[in-house]
A and B are shown apart, each in its own frame.
Chain A
Amino acid sequence: MSGARVPITPNPPRWKPNSNPASIHVPGLDTTAPVHDQIEQIEQLITIKLQNIDENFSRIHNVLANKLLPAVKRYAVGTEPVREAAKFWTSFYEQAAQIRIPTSDDHSTVNEFPSEHEISETTSEHTTQDMTETEEGSEVSQETIDDHSEEPSTSHTESSFHPNQDAFSSTPAKTRVARISDDTMRTGESPSWSASLESPFVRLSNEVKNFSLADEGPSFAPSTAPETTFRPDEPTPVSKPMPSQQSSRKGKNTPLRDNLLRHQLYSATDMSSIATTSRTISPLKPRSKGKTPLPNKVNPYIPPGTDSSKWSGVIDLRDPSVATPYRSRRAHPSSSRKVVATPKPESDDDDDFDALPPGMSPPVMMSPVRLSKATDYSLLAPTPSKNASVRIKQAILRSVQKDHHYGGTHSIAESTLSTMPTPPSFSQYRDHGPPDITDSLTDPSFDSMMRRVGLEVPTSSAPGPPTIGGIVDDSAAHIYDDLDSDDSLDDFNPTAHPSAAFLMATQGVQASDEDSFGSSNQSSDSLNDEEAHLEGAVPVHPFAGGIEDTGDDDSDSFDEYQPGDGARTETLFGVAPGERLAAEQRRGQQLRMLGQEMLDDMTATGAYVGGVEESPTPANWGGSK
Chain B
Amino acid sequence: MENPHAERQAVLLERIVKNTSKCTEMILELNHCLEEILRANSGVKTAADLATKYRKNVQYNLEATVGAVAASEGVRLEGQEDGSGAQR
Contacts and interface: CB of A to CB of B under 8 A. Distances in A.
A103 B45 CA distance: 10
B50 A76 contact: no
B12 A57 contact: no
Interface stretch (B19-27, B65-73, B80-88): B19-27
B15 A157 contact: no
B62 interface: no
Interface in A26-53: 40, 43-44, 46-47, 50-51, 53
B43 A103 contact: yes
Interface string B2-45: 01011011001101100110110011011011111111111111
B6 to A, nearest CB: 8
A202 interface: no
A132 interface: no
Contact of A57 (B19, B39, B41, B43): B19
Given A50-B16, A51-B12, A53-B16, A64 B49 contact: no
Contacts of A58: 19
A310 B20 CA distance: 68
Contacts, number: 126
A150 interface: yes
A56 to B, nearest CB: 9
Contacts of B9: 43, 46-47, 50
A89 B47 contact: yes
Contacts of B41: 79, 82-83, 86
A583 B48 CA distance: 92
Contacts of B39: 104, 107, 143, 146-147, 150
Main secondary structure of the interface of A (DSSP, over half): helix
A85 interface: yes
B53 A72 contact: no
Contacts of A157: 46, 49-50
A50 to B, nearest CB: 4
Given A47-B5, A47-B12, A103-B46, A61 B40 contact: no
A90 B51 CA distance: 9
A107 B3 CA distance: 60
A316 interface: no
B54 A93 contact: yes
A586 B20 CA distance: 103
Interface string A415-437: 00000000000000000000000
Given A57-B19, A72-B37, A76-B36, A103 B42 contact: yes
Interface in A83-117: 83, 85-87, 89-90, 93, 101, 103-105, 107
B30 to A, nearest CB: 6
B13 A50 contact: yes
Nearest to A45: B5
Nearest to A58: B19
A593 interface: no
Interface string A177-216: 0000000000000000000000000000000000000000
B1 to A, nearest CB: 12
A301 interface: no
A158 B53 contact: yes
Contacts of B35: 143, 146-147
A160 to B, nearest CB: 9
Nearest to B53: A161
A344 to B, nearest CB: 77
Contacts of B32: 143
B42 A64 contact: no
A86 B53 contact: no
Nearest to B19: A57
A363 B44 CA distance: 73
B40 A104 contact: yes
A90 B53 CA distance: 12
B40 A161 contact: no
A241 to B, nearest CB: 79
Contacts of B16: 50, 53-54, 57
Contacts of B29: 69
A157 B35 CA distance: 20
Contacts of B34: 72
Interface string A150-175: 10011001100110000000000000
B88 to A, nearest CB: 48
A536 to B, nearest CB: 83
Interface centre among B13, B20, B45, B51 (most CB of A within 10 A): B45
A379 interface: no
A220 to B, nearest CB: 46
A317 interface: no
A83 B44 contact: yes
Interface in A62-83: 64-65, 68-69, 72-73, 75-76, 79, 82-83
A146 B44 CA distance: 15
Given A150-B38, A154-B42, A85 B47 contact: yes
A134 to B, nearest CB: 16
A68 B43 contact: no
B54 A86 contact: no
A101 B12 contact: no
Given A57-B16, A107-B39, 18 more contacts: A40-B5, A43-B5, A50-B16, A51-B12, A54-B15, A54-B16, A54-B19, A61-B19, A82-B41, A83-B41, A85-B47, A86-B47, A87-B47, A93-B50, A143-B39, A150-B38, A150-B39, A153-B46
Q: Which 8 A-B pairs have the closest CB atoms?
A: A57-B19, A43-B5, A86-B47, A104-B42, A50-B12, A64-B26, A86-B44, A93-B50
20 contacts: A40-B5, A46-B9, A47-B5, A68-B26, A68-B30, A79-B41, A82-B41, A86-B47, A89-B51, A104-B43, A105-B43, A107-B39, A143-B35, A147-B39, A150-B39, A153-B42, A154-B46, A154-B49, A161-B49, A162-B53
